[in-house]
Chains A and B, each alone.
Chain A
Amino acid sequence: MNLNYTVRKFDAVIVGAGGAGLRAAIQLSEAGYRTAVLTKVFPTRSHTVAAQGGVAASLGNSEEDNWHWHMYDTIKGSDWLGDQDAVEFMCRKANEVVVELEHYGMPFDRLDNGKIYQRPFGGHMSNFGEKPVRRSCAAADRTGHAMLHAMYQRNVKVNTQFFVEWQALDLVRDAEGDVLGVTAMDMETGEIVVFHAKATIFATGGSGRIYYSSTNAFINTGDGLGMAARAGIPLEDMEFWQFHPTGVAGAGVLITEGVRGEGGILRNSAGERFMERYAPNAKDLASRDVVSRAMTTEINEGRGCGPNKDFVLLDITHLPPETIMKRLPGIHEIGIQFAGVDCLKEPLPVVPTCHYQMGGIPTNYLGQVVVPKDGNQSAPVQGFYAAGECACASVHGANRLGTNSLLDLLVFGKSAGETAVSELKSNVKAHKPLPQDSIDRTLARVNRLNHQKDGADVHQTRLAMQRTMQKHAGVFRFKDMLVEGVQRIDEIAGQVAQTQIKDKSQVFNTARIEALELDNLIEVAKATIVSANARTESRGAHVRDDATDTPETPDGRDDKNWLKHTLWYREGNRLDYKPVQMKPMSVDTIELKKRAY
């Protein structure tokens, strides 16, 4: 069976309608450009909804603050892997994008004087790391949700055209390397359409579903990263993933740190309070990375619980039930719903859980996707932009600060939109001809899936990938495990290339969508484990057992050899590197030093 397709022309096509995509679309539609936004789910059901903490901006509404301090905190948080020009750009733009959002109708919490209320958040300090500062602007515990609503309404007003429940399939890229749009499938009909565009912006979010234990919603399947990788674009710094120590084993739902704050104790299979060995003073209240590493060590050394010995226990059974119900509302329900455990009577099974992807599609601070070309380490790809969690600007470097993710998607969503508008005005007047070979590759991929016989089961293959990533490239990494993991993921990639679906229907064929999503997830998994295996230091969220703490390499961080960005290419599963931009836009470099709080 040959697949048919139709072509639709727009000035710009944006893939993804979370915070970054909606912000970029406002810019293009307001400038009068015909803009299509493709999204798998209704815009206000994007994963941005889950962001509760707030958005960082040095408004200084409650106490003195400025972007220099915010920039310092972000670079320190990134363990010096953030590009200092992009970090300066983001921190300087923060106030502007927050005030714009207010004008779009965002219901920020207020002070009595009417100004936006700000609260403190981990890692955000005043006066270059001196003491915590109130920098996070929030709308109760629904900041991400309120943000999406405000921006969606704005887009409706400026006539952005939404294609809801469309699955983007591939980038359309011609022989010169220019990006000319995307192919996509209408889930309702199975129809394939080429969205022919002068500007293409990816805002597809993160890929946390590569891990078995992840806080990410099921939609976070790295579609933009998979599409970029298949089109020959490298993925940057994919070894860096932020983990939270206590997600419910087998589910990923977060158990707040407040549980340990109220006296919760982590125990291994022998019932031992193992944190006493790793952190004799702080014990269960040690910092996130210390607790996560200790948990992983217990599991790796065979002291995990359950039939697979792959989780530890968080015990609050010694606390009075009334304390649990009063001070930790929701935990009892989460235990019952997701662990099948009444935490008043039994301990909760927990594991370190993947939360946020620091790496992504390489961009500059203008939101342009950049690749090494003809001696230029960061040459823009004509017509291609990316923003938000799918992109790597790079502002988070090796570790992201809380509330900087919502800022990232506002600043770089806007920036990508602005740059696209400027290119459309000055340089790109007409649509370039569509390259047939690029479209044919997509059709062949979908055709292969529709006709595959005796192939691999999608669910089982995805599970094998997730378990392998969790075991071999989790929060704490070991040389031998990484080497073995690279090989194992390579084998699983072979199975992904031969997935089979039984349901061949056209209308909302969720089995086919999940198979197409797995095509994207596996690219992210390969990029992550290959990049992690190669980086032999510890930095930020990438922590290796064999990276030793010496005066030259404090906490295993090796600036002499590893102060550089990883670039993973799908073709040949190969790596390249590019320097970190240590020169900010207008101020002095924030010099390297040990990251200590």
Chain B
Amino acid sequence: MEVNEDRKARINRLKWHCRRALLELDLVFDRFWERHEHDLDAQGEAALESLLELEDHDLWALVSGREVTDDSQQATMIQRLREVSPIANFE
């Protein structure tokens, strides 16, 4: 129970840190959490946390594919961010 609550608090904190200065990133993270809230493991959490330390323009450069990172954990997370299905929210 305590473990679950700890995870929930950690995820909630990460989710809030995904509130960014740029709309593009907000939208990507919004989709990411919809898809991956329940399957994000400790390694993924750590990779995401390190990416969230970046400045918004630098992070968007990675997510949009204009730049690449040497860090393999970060690169895996960037790939997951790029793969979440496009929003296409026209309902």
Contact = CB atoms under 8 A, between A and B. Distances in A.
B20 A45 contact: yes
Contact of A508 (B13, B56, B57): B13
Nearest to A148: B21
Contact of B21 (A50, A165, A187, A337): A50
A399 interface: no
A140 B13 CA distance: 33
Contact of A507 (B12, B66, B90, B91): B12
A44 B9 contact: no
A505 B10 CA distance: 12
Interface residues of B, number: 31
A264 to B, nearest CB: 20
A117 interface: no
A349 B89 CA distance: 11
Contacts, number: 109
A104 interface: no
Contacts of A513: 16
A251 interface: yes
Contact of B86 (A48, A339, A508): A339
Interface in A208-257: 214-219, 249-253
Interface string B47-63: 00000000111000000
Given A44-B55, A45-B56, A253 B91 contact: no
B12 A311 contact: no
Interface in B1-49: 5, 8-9, 12-13, 15-16, 19-24, 26-28, 30
B87 A338 contact: yes
Contacts of A509: 12
Interface of A: 40-41, 44-50, 142, 145, 165, 187-188, 214-219, 249-253, 306-308, 310-311, 330, 333-334, 336-341, 349, 505, 507-510, 513
Contacts of B57: 49, 142, 145
Contact of B23 (A249, A253, A307, A340): A253
From B20, B24, B85, name the one whose CB has the most chain A CB atoms within 10 angstroms: B24
A338 B9 CA distance: 29
A297 B45 CA distance: 47
Given A508-B12, A508-B15, A508-B16, A340 B86 contact: yes
A187 B16 contact: yes
Contacts of A40: 19
From A47, A214, A310, A311, name the one whose CB has the most chain B CB atoms within 10 angstroms: A47
Given A217-B22, A218-B26, A333-B64, A165 B16 contact: yes
Contact of A307 (B27, B56, B90): B90
B64 to A, nearest CB: 5
Given A44-B55, A45-B56, A336 B86 contact: yes
B21 A45 contact: yes
B27 A253 contact: yes
Given A46-B21, A50-B23, A218-B19, A307 B87 contact: no
Contact of A333 (B21, B27, B65, B85): B65
From A40, A50, A249, name the one whose CB has the most chain B CB atoms within 10 angstroms: A50
B15 A251 contact: no
Contacts of A252: 23
Contact of B85 (A46, A306, A340, A507): A340
A310 B9 CA distance: 39
A250 B90 contact: yes
A505 B12 CA distance: 10
A505 B23 CA distance: 27
B86 A145 contact: no
Given A217-B21, A340-B87, A508-B15, 8 more contacts: A41-B19, A45-B56, A253-B24, A253-B27, A307-B90, A337-B87, A338-B24, A339-B88
A416 to B, nearest CB: 22
Contacts of B28: 337
Please give me the 7 A-B residue pairs with the lowest Cβ-Cβ distance, nearest first: A340-B86, A49-B21, A340-B88, A508-B12, A250-B89, A507-B9, A218-B26
Contacts of A308: 90-91
23 contacts: A44-B55, A46-B21, A47-B21, A49-B21, A49-B22, A50-B21, A145-B21, A188-B13, A215-B23, A218-B20, A218-B30, A219-B21, A251-B23, A306-B90, A307-B90, A307-B91, A310-B90, A334-B64, A340-B85, A341-B88, A505-B12, A510-B15, A513-B16
From A336, A505, A508, name the one whose CB has the most chain B CB atoms within 10 angstroms: A508
Nearest to B63: A337
Contacts of B12: 505, 507-510
From A187, A217, A249, name the one whose CB has the most chain B CB atoms within 10 angstroms: A217
Nearest to B86: A340
Nearest to A165: B16
B13 A338 contact: no
B9 A505 contact: yes
Contacts of A508: 9, 12-13, 15-16
